[in-house]
């Protein structure tokens, strides 16, 4: 799957259904029927929506972890906690399970923000706060992460 582009303001109804914006649906059209995995983010108070193909690749990597090491077992358990298979219905809606809504403190207004090959689903207030919090040190972070010339592409 290619990268996803675009940040969208959306709403969740009282039942936890999210209508996917048409811009995202168009980009994801070839993979909509395969389904998705929705899980808690490791680093942020948001949810991560993995296309099934991306989830399968990630699980193949995780399956190589030695389960006889306690830290690996602990990681696998915590990483997969709350993960759910979800589908987009014929109306283009995605049902967010109640426990994941509680985890991400999602209210009615949300933001869908692609993170390369997955989608983050945020409560709008928490998203804006996370972006504001990262503004001050973003230039330094960008230099540290992307400013190295040690990869094959020579991207700098």
Full domain range(s) for residue 24:
8-124
Write the CATH number for 95.
Answer: 3.40.1550.20
pLDDT, residue 64, reads: 94
pLDDT, residue 156, reads: 45
Domain assignment present for 146: no
The sign of the dihedral angle between the CA atoms of 145, 129, 26, 60 is positive
* pLDDT per residue of the chain (156 residues) written in tens, 0 to 9: 567 788 999 999 999 999 988 888 888 887 788 889 999 998 899 999 999 999 999 999 999 999 999 999 999 999 988 899 999 888 889 999 999 999 999 999 999 998 888 999 999 999 998 888 766 677 777 788 888 766 555 554
What's the angle, vertex CA 39, arms to CA 28 and CA 137, rounded to 5? 85
Domain assignment present for 129: no
pLDDT, residue 72, reads: 93
């Amino acid at each position: 799957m290619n990268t996803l582009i675009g940040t969208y303001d959306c709403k969740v109804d009282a039942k936890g259904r999210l209508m996917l914006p048409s811009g995202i649906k168009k980009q994801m059209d070839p993979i909509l029927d395969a389904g998705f995995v929705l899980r808690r983010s490791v680093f942020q108070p948001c949810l991560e929506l993995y296309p099934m193909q991306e989830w399968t690749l990630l699980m193949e990597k995780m399956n190589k972890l030695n389960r006889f090491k306690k830290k690996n077992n602990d990681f696998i358990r915590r990483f997969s906690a709350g993960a759910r298979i979800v589908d987009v219905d014929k109306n283009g809606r995605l049902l967010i399970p109640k426990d994941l809504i509680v985890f991400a403190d999602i209210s009615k207004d949300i933001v869908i923000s692609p993170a390369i090959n997955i989608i983050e689903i945020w409560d709008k207030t928490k998203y804006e706060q996370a972006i504001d919090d990262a503004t001050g040190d973003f230039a330094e972070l960008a230099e540290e992460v992307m400013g190295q010339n040690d990869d094959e592409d020579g991207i700098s």
